[in-house]
C-alpha cells in the first residue's frame, strides 16, 4: 500500500478538475494520505474536500509564516486539537523571514510550543516544516517527550538529519528532496510524501511509485522492500491514536 504522509489538498493547490482527478487516483489505488493544513482556511477547506474520502485523514496546523497572526489566537488554535491525531504543517522557518518578517523567531517559537505541548500531552504525530532552523528546532523538540515526530522534506544539512534520526524522528522522502534522506536515514525511520501536485498534473500513484523506485535503486533494495518498509513505519507511527484508528486499520489489513 502506498502512503503519503504529507499532502496538501486545500484550495490553493488544486483546481476543481485536478482535485477530482487526484481523489479518483487516490481511491482507485487505495493510497493512504495525511492531508496537511497551513492555517485555519486551508484546514476547513481540507475537511470539506475529504469528508467522503475513505483513505484521507486531516492534520491540523499553522505554518510558522503566519505566527504573527495566530499567536494572538492561540485559544482558537487549541480548539481544533481534539479533532485530529496529527498536527501539521507546523514548525520553524528562518528562511522565510524575508517574506514574513513580522513572524519573528520568537513568535514562531511561541506558536510551535503550543503544538509541541499538545503532542506531548496527547501522544500525537507532529508533521514538521523546518527550514534553516534545525539547531533551534531540535533544541525545542528536546524539551518535550515526543514519540511521533516527522520531518517533512528536510534538507537543512546532513548533521541535522543524523541528529534527528538519532532521536528516533522520522523523515519523509520527497519527490524533489530525497537524496540526503535516502542516504542518511535508517530503514525504520523512512516515510514518503508528495507534498503538492505539480503544475503539470501527474497522478499521485505515479509520483509515489517513481519516487520509491528512485530511492530503492539508491539504497540497493527492491521497490517492494521499500514500499513495505514505509508501510510498516506508517502503521507504527499511527497506531494507538484514536483519531487515526480507522486509517491505521487500512494499513494493518493490507500489510504484506
pLDDT at 177: 86
Half-sphere exposure of 32 (CA within 13 A, CB side): 26
Query: What digits encode the pLDDT tens for the residues 187-206?
Result: 999 999 999 998 889 999 99
CA atoms of 19 and 7, how far apart (whole Å): 12
Sorted by sequence, the CB contacts under 8 Å of residue 59 that are 6+ apart come out as: 34, 35, 36, 37, 84, 86, 87, 88, 89, 125, 127
pLDDT at 11: 62
pLDDT at 12: 67
CA atoms of 215 and 126, how far apart (whole Å): 24
Domain at 3-253, CATH from 3.20.20.140, 3.20.20.60, 3.20.20.70, 3.40.50.2300: 3.20.20.140
pLDDT at 4: 98
What is the mean pLDDT, run by run of 10 residues, along the chain of 256 residues? 96 83 97 98 95 97 98 98 98 98 98 98 98 98 98 96 98 93 97 93 97 97 98 98 97 87
Amino acid at each position: 500500500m502506498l502512503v503519503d504522509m504529507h499532502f496538501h489538498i486545500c484550495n490553493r493547490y488544486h483546481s476543481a478538475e485536478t482535485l477530482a482527478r487526484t481523489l479518483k487516483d487516490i481511491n482507485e489505488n487505495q493510497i493512504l494520505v495525511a492531508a496537511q493544513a497551513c492555517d485555519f482556511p486551508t484546514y476547513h477547506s481540507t475537511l470539506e474536500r475529504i469528508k467522503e474520502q475513505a483513505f484521507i485523514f486531516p492534520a491540523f496546523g499553522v505554518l510558522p509564516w503566519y505566527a504573527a497572526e495566530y499567536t494572538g489566537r492561540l485559544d482558537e488554535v487549541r480548539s481544533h486539537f481534539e479533532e485530529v491525531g496529527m498536527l501539521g504543517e507546523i514548525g520553524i522557518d528562518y528562511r522565510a523571514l524575508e517574506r514574513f518578517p513580522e513572524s519573528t523567531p520568537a513568535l514562531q517559537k511561541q506558536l510551535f510550543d503550543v503544538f509541541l505541548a499538545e503532542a506531548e500531552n496527547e501522544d500525537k504525530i507532529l508533521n514538521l516544516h523546518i527550514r534553516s532552523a534545525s539547531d533551534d528546532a531540535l533544541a525545542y523538540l528536546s524539551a518535550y517527550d515526543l514519540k511521533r515526530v516527522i520531518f517533512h522534506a528536510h534538507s537543512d544539512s546532513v548533521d541535522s538529519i543524523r541528529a534527528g534520526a538519532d532521536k528516533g524522528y522520522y523523515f519523509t522522502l520527497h519527490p524533489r528532496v530525497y537524496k540526503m534522506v535516502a542516504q542518511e536515514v535508517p530503514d525504520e525511520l523512512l516515510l514518503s510524501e508528495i507534498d503538492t501536485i505539480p503544475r503539470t498534473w501527474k497522478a499521485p500513484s505515479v509520483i509515489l511509485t517513481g519516487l520509491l523506485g528512485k530511492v530503492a535503486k539508491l539504497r540497493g533494495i527492491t521497490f517492494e522492500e521499500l514500499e513495505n518498509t514505509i508501510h510498516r513505519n506508517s502503521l507504527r507511527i499511527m497506531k494507538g491514536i484514536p483519531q487515526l484508528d480507522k486509517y491505521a486499520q487500512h494499513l494493518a489489513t493490507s500489510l504484506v
